Amino acid sequence: MSNSDSVELETEIKNLIISALELEDLHAEDIISNEALFTEGLGLDSIDALELGVAVQREFGVKIDAQDKDVKLHFASVSNLAKFIAAARKG
């Protein structure tokens, strides 16, 4: 995935986070790609995680296995989520 594709995917993810979680006060540029999404950073919680997981599956057509030991790592930041989605689309 090229750098511009990566940035574009990260922007799509940021916009999805904002719309799916109804964070109307935020804009995509307010979310730092490598900043934590949960607890510190954006401060999302477990309910947000469930909603975001459903939104990501619906929007990007990727399967998320909640039992996967790496799922927390995939959702740790926008940049991690972009890498996960890109890899899932290829495989």
Lookup: tokens for 56: 């990501």
The answer on pLDDT for 39 being more than 90 is no
* Model confidence pLDDT, tens digit, residues 45-80: 999 999 999 999 999 999 998 889 999 999 999 999
Closest CA to 38 of 54, 49, 30, 24: 49
For the whole model, what pTM was predicted?
A: 0.92
Q: Where are the alpha helices (DSSP H) in the chain?
A: 3-20, 46-60, 71-74, 78-90
pLDDT at 18: 97
More confident residue, 18 or 4: 18
Q: For domain 3-90, say whether CATH 3.40.470.10 is its number.
A: no
pLDDT at 1 over 70: no
Is residue 37 within 8 A of residue 44, CB to CB? The reply is yes
